[in-house]
Amino acid sequence: MDLTKEFPRSVHEKMHGIVQLARTTDKAKATANGNVGEYHYNCPMDQAVFSFLGIDHEKYLDAVKNAKSDQDILAYSAPFVHKKTDAEIEAWNKQYLSNEPTGDSLEYFTKVRGEIAPDRTDVTTWPDLLDLDEKRAVPIRKQTATA
């Protein structure tokens, strides 16, 4: 995986049924190979998936570095995923994909969205904004009125 030449997988793409894990894995592979580019392994979005699954990011990176294939990475991560119920995974995925930034994160998000797609004020989550930035199609969302 060379993130100086290609994008990591979308946050929305699932690995073991978990959103963000495939993207985190792509960044781990690129970090292991020294070609992570502008991406950051163990960013707050990666940290969220690691926290949910109970994975230590340094041990995960070591597992990726030592993996002979993608199957080895899947095998390493499987026990962490299997500790979660389907309902826990579904709830986490839904919350993760719909969580909107607040505070300083919202200010930065709004700035970045203004640079990437100023006409897409319907985009209110990092997963959608990252997809837009990486030239993926993002459906137009209905905006809710605020009081």
What is the chain's pLDDT, residue by residue, as a tens digit (147 residues)?
899 999 999 999 999 999 999 999 999 999 999 999 999 999 999 999 999 999 999 999 999 999 999 999 999 999 999 999 999 999 999 999 998 998 888 999 999 999 999 999 999 999 999 999 999 999 998 765 554
Show Cβ contacts of residue 89 under 8 Å, excluding neighbours closer than 6 positions.
17, 18, 81
Coil, helix or strand at residue 19: strand
The answer to whether residue 55 is domain-embedded is yes
Using CB atoms within 10 Å of the CB of residue 8, give its burial: 0 to 12 exposed, 13 to 18 middle, 19+ buried. Answer: buried
* Residue 145 covered by a domain: no
Could you tell me the residue range of the domain that residue 120 belongs to? 100-138
Kindly state whether residue 75 falls inside one of the protein's structural domains: yes
Domain match, 75 and 126 both: no
The whole-angstrom separation of Cα 50 and Cα 13 is 16
DSSP strands (E only) in the chain = 14-15, 18-19
Both 120 and 80 in one domain: the answer is: no
Does residue 92 lie in a domain region? no
pLDDT reported for residue 147: 44
Do residue 17 and residue 70 come from a single domain?
yes
Residue with tokens 């199957």: 71
Q: Does residue 108 lie within any of the structural domains?
A: yes
105 & 75 share domain: no
Whether 54 maps to a domain, the answer reads yes
Whether residue 55 is found in the same domain as residue 117:
no
Residues 69, 10 share a domain: yes
Q: Quote the number of domains for the chain.
A: 2
DSSP character at residue 18: E
